[in-house]
Structure 1
């Protein structure tokens, strides 16, 4: 199974220091939905692993989160893409749970649900904790310079990235990399 695990806020859609709290605030980043559609068309199973502490903080409820995801899935379908699953952590940092990134619990849940080992599964996010969580689960970490990491554009990437982390301008560049690598390996 070809599986890829994506972060949501700052990777697929615009992020906000005040949290994305409504479907109206959920706005895709340029080219992100098209990138997911290209991965889908190439046979990749696309899954989201996202911290959603706004739930634990009482900023929105599960119904509102589901409405955000319904909007995302509808917009993705209009691009010809699909999402296989959305996994999220509803906890705050103070809860000290195992599913909140940078801990690998969400990734482990994904591996169990899909019945696949996570070693080498590409995962992409816009923050250090995204790539740390993926690397801790054995995934191949990728950082996009959008969202929280947009500040690194034109600069060296952070020094504390997990070893082997690959850096891309955005989700579209990540998809290009994955699809080109796949085509080269098929030769």
Structure 2
């Protein structure tokens, strides 16, 4: 099974930054990538605001907030995720944008890197087919707000390897998610 020491998240919007926050809160190192530094800074600011609210409400200590933030790297440089063990795509629901992103990631990432899409409306296989690693491609569908909502749909497509599925389930467990495996169909289980 793939070791999970470095995670990448592409997209620093509400979903992306929330996913990053949850991963970092659970002790994993994570790199958040977006196309513009403004977006990266806004994502980091959202995470700080939510963590501070947790400190104010005595859910987290100031130390836990500092530790969480220390595990997050925000960047516009996609090369910083080239050696990630798993990358979650959390960009807006546009097939062309997601497809181009996966082609780019497939070209720069190491062979062992698992690619995951957080799509809620497209077939996972449509993006897997854009890569040379369909066996290391899976859907990970988060629900809003990803730092608070425990559910995670794990969506293998027909070509997803068993090791990839097991790694996705391990990843879910490592960042405090309750995972359900669902079929690769529009809307998956919950949205349907």
TM-score of the superposition, structure 2-length normalised? 0.49
TM-score of the superposition, structure 1-length normalised? 0.50
Q: Which one has a larger percent strand, Structure 1 or Structure 2?
A: 2
